[in-house]
Structure 1
C-alpha cells in the first residue's frame, strides 16, 4: 500500500479530471496536499473532501500570469512550512479552435495562450521547485502529466497547439531528470491516452464523437482518472527512483512504442 505520510505534495489543476483524481489519491495515501485551482473552488474542495483537518490547502492562481505563478509558489512554500516534496504539474488547457484551417487570429491567440498555460507556467513551477531543492541540499520529485499526443501527434487537428505544448513541457521535465538525478531530484512524465475527462469529451467531438474514439481503443474504454492518481501516488513515494526520466504510457494498449 502506498503511504505518503510526512510528505507534502503540490498538485495543480485539482478542480476536475486528472488533477482531482491525483489530489484525492495523494490525500488517501496520507500526504499533505496543496492544491491549485483557477476559479472552481467548489470542484477543488470536492477533490480533497477526504482530507483530515489541516491535511489539504487550496490556493487559487491564474496560470496565464507568471507573476501569479510565482506568488502561488510562494504561497505553497508558506503553507508547507518551507518543505515541498513533490510537484505534480497537471493543470493545462486544450482549446477547440486554432487549427490550421482556422483564421490566423485564432491560431495566434490559441498558440500564445496554450504555450503560456501549458509550458511557461509549469516550467516556472518546475524551476522554483528544483531551485528550492538545490538550495536545501535535499531531493524532491516532479511528476508531469503529459499526453500521448506529445509523441504521436493528435488526431484532432484543432489541438495542434496542445500537442506541441505537451511535447515542450515533457522535454523540460526530462532535462531536469538528466541533470539533477545525482542530487536526488527525480522527474517523471505520465503520458495518458484517452482519459475520461470533459477535455477528452470535447476533443472527441472533433474526430467523430465518443463512440468513434472508443471503437479504436483495445480495451474498449477510456482511461479512468483514478488510474493516473494511483500512479502519481506511487511515484511520489520514491520507491522507483530509477524510473526517473521515464515517460510512462497509460493508455490501455492503444499506443505501444
Structure 2
C-alpha cells in the first residue's frame, strides 16, 4: 500500500512517541515527507525525525501547544512552508490528563481535557484547510473507543471529548467534501506499551483488557498506524466521515 502522491506531504501532531511516532514512520515508509509536531518532548521528536530521514524521506520537528490556536496557526504554517504544501493531516495529539469522577471534577480539569483533545482537533484542522483544499488532501483525526463506550473509570471528560471528535469528523467531512478533502477518524481500543496506559491504567486493568480482546492480544501503535496509512491511500478515496475502530473486536458497533 502506498499513499496517493510521491512524495506525500504529511503533518502528524503529537508525533514524538507512541502512536504518533508509529504513524509518522508508517507514512514515511509509504513515501511521505513528514512534519513532526510535538508539545514538550523535543528530544523524542528529533528521534522520530531522524528515523524518518533514515528512511530517505524529509522530516523536521515543529513545537506548539495544540490547546492554543495562535500556536497551532504558527506551527501549521511553518510545517506547510517546509513541506511545500500539505496532503495529509493527522491530528493525533491528545491526552487523558487524569482520571476524575464527575462529582469531584473541577472546571479546570474538564476544560483541560476538552481543549487538548477536541479543541486542538478543531484548531489544527482549521489552520490546515486552505492547504488541504489546494491538494485535495486527507484529514485523519484521533478518536478512541472511549467515544463509544465512555472509557474507563474517571474518564468522562475524555470520553466526551473523543465523542466530540467523532461528531466533528462527520460534520467536517460533509463541509469540506466539495473541496476534495476527505475526513476520517480512527478509534483505538487497548493499545499496549504506550505512555497513556502505562501512566493511567494499572497492570491489573491492562491484563483484564487484554483478556477481553477476541483476537487474543493487545493492539500496538503499528496497528493504528496501518489504518492511518490506509485512510491516506488511494484505496480510501471514497471513504469520508467514517471512524475505523481499531479494537481487535473488543468493541463492536
TM-score (norm 1): 0.90
Q: How does 1:1-257 map to 2 (within 5 A)?
A: 1-3=1-3, 5-52=6-53, 55-81=58-84, 83-102=85-104, 104=105, 107-134=106-133, 136=134, 138-154=135-151, 156-196=152-192, 197-205=194-202, 208-257=204-253
Aligned-pair CA distance for 1:114 = 1.2
Displaced runs of 4+ in structure 1, greater than 3 A?
131-134
Task: Provide the C-alpha distance between the structure 1 equivalents of 2:40 and 2:129, rounded to a whole number of angstroms.
Answer: 27
**Separation (CA, whole Å) in 2 of partners of 1:117 and 1:208:** 27
Q: Write the deviation string for residues 88-147 of structure 1: whole angstroms up to 9, x where unpaired.
A: 010001022332243x4xx3121111111111122111112223344x3x4111001111
Number of matched pairs: 249
Deviation at 1:65, TM superposition (A): 2.0
Report SS of the residue matched to 1:147: coil
Tell me if structure 1 keeps the 8 A contact 2:72–2:127: no
Q: CA deviation at 1:239?
A: 2.4
Change (3 A) 1:243 1:192: same
SS at match of 1:49: helix
Secondary structure (helix, strand or coil) at the match of 1:209 reads helix
Distance 1:65 1:187 in 2: 22
Distance 2:139 2:189 in 1: 20
Separation of aligned partners in 2, 1:251 and 1:201: 18
- Which range moves more in the overlay, 107-116 or 30-39? 107-116
Give distance in 2, aligned partners of 1:97 and 1:246. 28
User: How big is each residue's C-alpha offset from its partner over 1:59-83, in whole Å with a ceiling of 9 and x where there is no partner?
Assistant: 01112322111111121122122x1
Instruction: Tell me the CA shift for residue 222 of structure 1.
Output: 1.3
| Structure 2 gaps, min length 5 | none
Deviation at 1:37, TM superposition (A): 0.5
DSSP-derived class of the 2:27 partner = helix
Separation in structure 2 between the aligned mates of residue 113 and residue 2 of structure 1, nearest angstrom: 37
Question: CA-atom RMSD, angstroms?
Answer: 1.9
Q: Any stretches of 5+ residues in structure 1 without a counterpart?
A: none
Displacement of 1:240 in angstroms is 1.5
Q: TM-score, normalised by structure 2?
A: 0.91
| Shift in alpha-carbon separation, 1:71–1:29, aligned structure 2, 3 A | same
